[in-house]
Amino acid sequence: MAIRHARGAAPFVSSVPFEEARIRAASLYCSDGRYGEQFDDFLHNALALPRYDRLAVPGGPACLTGRLDVFWEGHSAQQGLDFLAAVHGLERLVLIQHQGCAFYRQWLKVRDEALEARQIEDLHKAAELMRRRHRELRVDAFFARRLEAEVRFEPVALPAGDGVLAQGLTSTQST
């Protein structure tokens, strides 16, 4: 009875209308679902990047550091981003790390006291790697800090040459 009902049920139709235009922006962040809504909120509303392409993997930008312990994850993420650059005309990439990431603690065995520094270092490495691979790409980096029930997005200064960080939060028209 229940199965027949399920078969006969009308398919769910999203109330969100489809929009054809791509915005040529992507974000790479951790797949931790507890942060997913906040990542969307930040990218949609603070950075004004609706319909951005998502690359969610455990540890997020950790995979783009060139380290051996993330070799396969890095290979896969680079292929994904190369595809987006080639086919979706990617012009902007937003890298996000989040506080207390379990991928770092449990997979990479990073101690709690060293965690944030390592994540910031990895944002630098990931940005550098992507800018080497795609010279025209604008890369911004952020750290999502949890304060009880709030998640705060702090800009992470990247080495000179990126030069786009301050615009990240204020320029809503440039993309």
Instruction: List contacts with Zn ion (CB under 5 A).
Output: 30, 32, 101, 103
Minimum CB–partner distance for residue 98 and Zn ion (Å)? 6
Positive or negative CA dihedral for 76, 103, 45, 117?
Answer: negative
Residue type, 168: G
Whichever of 73 and 162 has its CB closer to Zn ion, that residue is 73
Contacts of 95 (CB under 8 A, 6+ apart): 27, 28, 29, 60, 61, 64, 123, 126, 127, 139, 140, 141, 142
* Distance in angstroms (rounded) separating the CA atoms of residues 96 and 144: 7
Minimum CB–partner distance for residue 54 and Zn ion (Å)? 15
Whichever of 63 and 101 has its CB closer to Zn ion, that residue is 101
C-alpha to C-alpha distances, 69 to 2, 80, 81, nearest whole angstrom = 47, 19, 20
Minimum CB–partner distance for residue 159 and Zn ion (Å)? 24
Whichever of 30 and 158 has its CB closer to Zn ion, that residue is 30
Minimum CB–partner distance for residue 52 and Zn ion (Å)? 19
Whichever of 82 and 107 has its CB closer to Zn ion, that residue is 107
